[in-house]
Chains A and B, each alone.
Chain A
Amino acid sequence: MKGGSRSRFWHSDGRRLSGLSTVLLLVPFFAVIAFVFVYPIAQLLVISVAEPHPTLGNYARVVDNPVHVRVLMRTLWTAALVTALSVVLGFPVAYYMSRVKGVRAALVAVCVILPLWSSVLVRTAAWSFLFQRNGLINSALMALGLTSQPFKLLYTQSAVVIAMTHVLLPFMILPIYGSLRSIPNDYVRAAAVLGATRLRTFLEVILPLSLSGVVSGSLLVFLTALGFFITPALLGSPQEMMISTLVSKQIREVLDWPFAAALVGVLTVFVTVLALVFSKTLRFDRLMGSAS
């Protein structure tokens, strides 16, 4: 490539992209996003207020029916519980990952990331196998003599929470790991030489500096959990529906599109408000695990 055509794509310093190449690189992605995400969501939101005639009645139906309010509350509570569990389980793993080097670090990283490469369906199916009446968990409990009767595990809200936590845990670990990794080791040494014990160093320096990662991870997990479908559908009880299963039911069985759209609208409002509230702390560069 000669200088003439090159200058159209790169600035003379060869590092920054020109305006034209920026557009060329981003247009395909944004075109797809606009077509498969923005357009359908916008359509749904329009349906939620326009059908069967211009009205807010669809939203009133969400709020008026205590069953639907309960579904909404259950969804929020489940998402919150999954988030809390992910923090408790994920922080120690992220902390360990940030402290070790070499083979051990690679091993833990693989264990965290590998599940992301298998589908959610496979992982959920695996859990349903474990949770069965005579599945591995119940057999183990009975073999150990901890119970004489098998527990009902499958099709319970507990099963949903456990499996969702498992599926979403990497999204908590990686941002926390990123924020921990960006803390220079000299901070830890400085704290020590200034008289801080390991515990004080953790509480006064490491924890505060990793909070941005905790917030990022929590937001990622919470927002994803709000709209989780496969796991509640496969492991949950039909009596304890989540909002996504309710939406699916409205669209596929009841064929009540305006009401389903209103449910999606409520969810969208929640997600947007949360994202805006935390937009300052939600640092996307941290999600990638890079040092800031």
Chain B
Amino acid sequence: MKPISTTSATAGASVRISRLEKRFGPVVAVDGVDLDIAAGEFIALLGPSGSGKTTILMSVAGFEFPTSGAIEVDSEDLTYVPSNRRNLGMVFQNYTLFPHMTILDNVAFPLKMRGLPRAEGHARAEAALATVRLAGYGHRRPNELSGGQQQRVALARAIVYQPRVLLMDEPLSALDKNLREDMQLEIKRLHAELGITVIFVTHDQGEALTMADRIAVLKDGRIQQLGPARELYERPANLFTAGFIGEMNFVDVMVKSIGATIAVALPWGETWQLPAAAAVDAMEPAQAAVLAVRPERLELGAGAAGQVGDRQAVEGQVIKVTLSDIVYAGSALLLIGRLPDGTEIRARLPGASRLGSLAAGDVASFTVPAEAALLYRRSAR
């Protein structure tokens, strides 16, 4: 057995998931997932329920054996190794502290299973509790602790034996919002301190964007996009990711011609010239497409677009929106309205300085900056 200590940092292990497939009868839960996770990386599996993210984690933990494919940790094939011999750490959604044991016995449990003498196990458990800032809570019972404290104990229990990979299954979804943010920082701090590889399953995109080095967006058992938060948010690889991550406005358009710029026909008859870089998918003339713009990228007023026709292509386009709702949202102002053809559109303006000057029923002009427009192929929807 390797020496165990809770003070010195251990390096994480690399994880390679290849061609992973899991079927439950006729249902394909995971459909050929490949994922290479670097040692020490913090990766989030993000997706709606039924997207296969939990099944992937269960396969890594050894609670489910995949139908086909392989899972390797540091090049060691663990695909069919039972959970208790994988030496991975895991934190569950519902804490899963054993209610009949004290906090200290809970944290010392994995050490006891590894045959460590009781006194030594308790000393290390005490140290692990200190790293999650719960020193002195060892004699209590799980039901005497708050949800956040219980989850920190679960975290201490998952790292006390220094696993090289930490699996987290929606560990914060049972906590209220403020506590959740505290715990996000706590987990980030532990990740930095321990250098452990983290695989974090969540359906909360905010959580994934703030915590993970890279995010794998999943849908129907497949990875839709894999990349760092900024890339996912700024240039979603497909319509699903564009709609799933953050807020997005969508307008159906037709591609007219492709040259140095892409000319698209808008539903209300205008034709816009968009930069070639706006096309995320390959475009061809007469292609049905979707124009996507983030609500916070819309600028109130027509000023930025300029008056000269040929400058519009680089500076941006102007849209006229009939406002239906003006929602004060604290740090931002949310404007909801309709384009001339009736498509709903949302804009978020920082601050609330315009609150007084806008009213429902007004027609407001917004500028769509050229670099804010993204163009996707329209599949049959």
Separation of A189 and B169 alpha carbons in the complex (Å) = 12
Which one of A186, A190, A195 lies within 8 Å of B87 (CB-CB)? A195
B113 touches A186 (CB 8 A): no
A189 touches B84 (CB 8 A): no
Partner-contacting stretch, out of B89-97, B207-215, B305-313: B89-97
Which one of A192, A205, A208 lies within 8 Å of B83 (CB-CB)? A192
A200 touches B113 (CB 8 A): yes
- Which chain A positions have C-beta within 8 A of B167? 193
B100 touches A209 (CB 8 A): yes
Instruction: Give the interface centre of A186, A195, A209 by most chain B CB atoms within 10 Å.
Output: A195
- Which chain B positions have C-beta within 8 A of A205? 98
Separation of A191 and B113 alpha carbons in the complex (Å) = 9
A196 touches B61 (CB 8 A): no
- Which chain B positions have C-beta within 8 A of A187? 96, 98
- The answer to the question of A14 belonging to the interface, with a C-beta cut-off of 8 Å to chain B, is no
Given contacts A187-B96, A208-B100, contact A193 B90 (CB under 8 A): yes
- Which chain B positions have C-beta within 8 A of A196? 84, 109, 113
- The answer to the question of B66 belonging to the interface, with a C-beta cut-off of 8 Å to chain A, is no
- The answer to the question of A114 belonging to the interface, with a C-beta cut-off of 8 Å to chain B, is no
B100 touches A195 (CB 8 A): no
Shortest distance between the CB of B315 and any CB in chain A (Å)? 56
- The answer to the question of A3 belonging to the interface, with a C-beta cut-off of 8 Å to chain B, is no
A190 touches B96 (CB 8 A): yes
- The answer to the question of B110 belonging to the interface, with a C-beta cut-off of 8 Å to chain A, is yes
Instruction: Give A195-212 interface residues, CB cut-off 8 Å to B.
Output: 195-197, 200, 204-205, 208-209
- Which chain B positions have C-beta within 8 A of A186? 92, 94, 96
Instruction: Give the interface centre of A184, A189, A193 by most chain B CB atoms within 10 Å.
Output: A193
Separation of A204 and B112 alpha carbons in the complex (Å) = 11
- Which chain A positions have C-beta within 8 A of B275? none
- The answer to the question of B82 belonging to the interface, with a C-beta cut-off of 8 Å to chain A, is yes
Separation of A265 and B83 alpha carbons in the complex (Å) = 56
Shortest distance between the CB of B173 and any CB in chain A (Å)? 14
Which one of A184, A191, A193, A204 lies within 8 Å of B62 (CB-CB)? A193
Separation of A194 and B63 alpha carbons in the complex (Å) = 12
Shortest distance between the CB of A261 and any CB in chain B (Å)? 44
- The answer to the question of B117 belonging to the interface, with a C-beta cut-off of 8 Å to chain A, is no
Instruction: Give A201-250 interface residues, CB cut-off 8 Å to B.
Output: 204-205, 208-209
A195 touches B92 (CB 8 A): no
Nearest A residue to B89 via CB reads A193
Given contacts A195-B84, A195-B87, A195-B110, contact A189 B63 (CB under 8 A): yes
- Which chain A positions have C-beta within 8 A of B90? 189-190, 193-194
Instruction: Give the interface centre of B61, B89, B90, B114 by most chain A CB atoms within 10 Å.
Output: B90
B62 touches A194 (CB 8 A): no
Separation of A186 and B92 alpha carbons in the complex (Å) = 8
- The answer to the question of B161 belonging to the interface, with a C-beta cut-off of 8 Å to chain A, is yes
- Which chain B positions have C-beta within 8 A of A189? 61, 63, 83, 90, 92, 96
A195 touches B82 (CB 8 A): no
- Which chain B positions have C-beta within 8 A of A197? 84, 113
Given contacts A189-B63, A195-B84, contact A184 B100 (CB under 8 A): no
Shortest distance between the CB of A123 and any CB in chain B (Å)? 37
Shortest distance between the CB of A92 and any CB in chain B (Å)? 21
- Which chain B positions have C-beta within 8 A of A204? 98, 109
Instruction: Give the interface centre of B83, B92, B161 by most chain A CB atoms within 10 Å.
Output: B83
Shortest distance between the CB of A131 and any CB in chain B (Å)? 43
A184 touches B84 (CB 8 A): no
Shortest distance between the CB of A25 and any CB in chain B (Å)? 32
- The answer to the question of B269 belonging to the interface, with a C-beta cut-off of 8 Å to chain A, is no
- Which chain A positions have C-beta within 8 A of B89? 193
Separation of A197 and B86 alpha carbons in the complex (Å) = 12
- Which chain B positions have C-beta within 8 A of A191? 98, 109
Which one of B84, B94, B98, B161 lies within 8 Å of A192 (CB-CB)? B84
Q: What are 29 contact pairs spanning A and B, CB under 8 A?
A: A184-B94, A186-B92, A186-B94, A186-B96, A187-B98, A189-B63, A189-B83, A189-B96, A190-B92, A190-B96, A191-B98, A191-B109, A192-B83, A192-B84, A193-B61, A193-B86, A193-B88, A193-B90, A194-B84, A194-B109, A194-B113, A194-B158, A194-B161, A195-B110, A195-B161, A196-B109, A197-B84, A200-B113, A205-B98
Closest 10 CB pairs of A and B: A195-B113, A194-B110, A192-B83, A190-B96, A193-B90, A186-B96, A208-B100, A193-B83, A196-B113, A192-B84
Give the B-binding residues of A (Cβ under 8 A).
184, 186-187, 189-197, 200, 204-205, 208-209
Q: Contacts A195-B87, A195-B161 given; 5 further ones with Cβ under 8 A?
A: A189-B63, A190-B92, A192-B62, A195-B110, A209-B100
